[in-house]
Amino acid sequence: MDVPADGERVTYDADADELDVPENPIVPILYGDGIGVDVAPAAKQVLQAAAEATGRHVEWMRVYAGETAREMYDENLPAETVEAIREFRVALKGPLTTPVGAGFRSLNVALRQKLDLFANVRPTYYLDGVPSPVKAPEQMDMVTFRENTEDVYAGIEWEAGTPEVEQVRTFLEEEMDAEGIHDGPVGIGIKPITEFGTKRLVREAIDYALANDRDSVTLVHKGNIMKYTEGQFRDWGYEVAEEEYGEDVITEDTLWEERDGEQPEDALVVNDRIADNMLQQLLTRTEEYDVLAMPNLNGDYLSDAAGAQIGGLGIAPGANFGQGRVLAEPVHGSAPKYAGQDKVNPAAMILSGRLLFEYLGWEDAASLIGEAVEQTIASKYVTYDLHRQIEGGEKASTSEFAQRVAATIDELA
């Protein structure tokens, strides 16, 4: 792969925990599978417009995974791609296809684990004009922090009918006195949740909440059932809050026992909720929640459910944070049946790029992107997925939508 000659690398000072970001950073971009060929170029156009409107320029560098990598390298995830993202520290990625039930494991998960991108971060907020299935979608303004490297996504499992799974079954039943495994074929998986993985994820969520003037961080778990994994996630999360942040953070118990429920203006509240209860509270008490921190699988479910309330995954951005490293990516999948048709909504990938810019410290450019996307949708100039739900709208292609957003950025700048 070719490294742009005119760009500069983003570097990281580990002691200060700070990025050094040039005005012309090299940013790897991975188009991905399916509709990635449509939404990635659209996002590039919009992000470049925002960068240039604020006196900067992005030097994009193509990297490959998934279908395009198989064509070029005869493998799904080339080492060159992983090393490029590791070296240049910031990257933008389109959707990658993950087979269901067979085939290779998720390339999305593989990238997160290989690069130790331990926090999957998904801001969920309403954009004016987007059709929603709920009465008051504007109440949703939430950020989910999902642990990215552990839980069932660690991939420690054995297939039914193999000698290995029978060895595990025998060990569990005879050595560990495990009960509840029915006779006959069985698939077995292990769910690791560590103190290290939990605490760095919760720490990242609390730091984000404090830096962005949020009121609460909620630990979402199923610890009433899985007491030694998700229950331990809850306990370790509270340890971080109580031992590392002094008076800046208080627990919900302290809030009620010592302050009669009155939250001080200068303190963040950490609480916890059972995962199934949290799913319904997303709908019934939306405004009460700010930042959610949770294990991997809970985060997958909860972030998608939150996205539904603001109009669906077509506008839901995401990013993966590591230590001085970010890989931004939309929440939606690759939708291969629409690939190359220039019709799908690129807003999620554009807004994921906005997250990347925020990580770089380019708040002015990020603000332009958010405002321009919202203005474009509010004007009813939308792609087919929203057009069919909006009366009197004008249907735009993927590329036309991006062009309108980029033009709006120029007008706002």
- How many whole angstroms from its chain centre is CA 238? 23
Confidence band of 103 (pLDDT split at 50, 70, 90):
very low
Residue 105: the pLDDT is 63
Q: Per the annotation, does 97 bind a ligand?
A: yes
Q: How would you class 64 by CB atoms within 10 Å of its CB: exposed for 0-12, middle for 13-18, buried for 19 or more?
A: buried
Report whether 345 belongs to an annotated binding site: yes
Determine if residue 336 is labeled as part of a ligand binding site: yes
pLDDT recorded at residue 98? 65
Give pLDDT tens digits for 133-146: 999 999 999 999 99
Query: Domain 1-127+316-413 - what CATH class?
Result: alpha beta
Check the annotation: does 337 bind a ligand.
yes
Report the catalytic residues. Answer: 153, 222, 276, 300
What are the pLDDT digits (tens) for 265-282?
888 999 999 999 999 999
Q: How far is CA 339 from the centre of its chain?
A: 22
> What pLDDT digit, counting tens, does each position of 70-100 carry?
888 988 899 999 999 999 999 999 999 865 4
Which CATH number fits the domain 133-150+194-309, given the four candidates 3.40.50.300, 3.10.450.50, 3.40.718.10, 3.60.20.10?
3.40.718.10
Taking only the tens place, the pLDDT of each residue in 163-172 is 999 999 999 9
DSSP string for 209-255: HHHTT-SEEEEEE-TTTSTTTHHHHHHHHHHHHHHHSGGGEEEHHHH
Q: Sign (positive/negative) of CA torsion 21, 27, 28, 29?
A: positive
Would you state the structure tokens that stand for residue 18, as one six-digit string?
A: 């700070």
- Say if strands 119-125 and 319-322 run parallel, antiparallel, or are unpaired: antiparallel
pLDDT at 313 over 70: yes
Please, where in the chain does CATH 3.40.718.10 lie?
Answer: 1-127+316-413, 133-150+194-309
Helix or strand (DSSP H, E) at 270: strand 268-274
Q: What are phi and psi of 228, to 5 degrees?
A: -100, 0
Q: Is 305 exposed, middle or buried (0-12, 13-18, 19+ CB in 10 A)?
A: middle
Question: Residue 20 forms beta bridges with which residues?
Answer: 11
Please state the pTM of the whole predicted model: 0.92
CA dihedral 65, 319, 300, 153 (to 10 degrees): 50
What pLDDT, on the 0 to 100 scale, is given for residue 403? 98
Mean pLDDT of the chain: 93
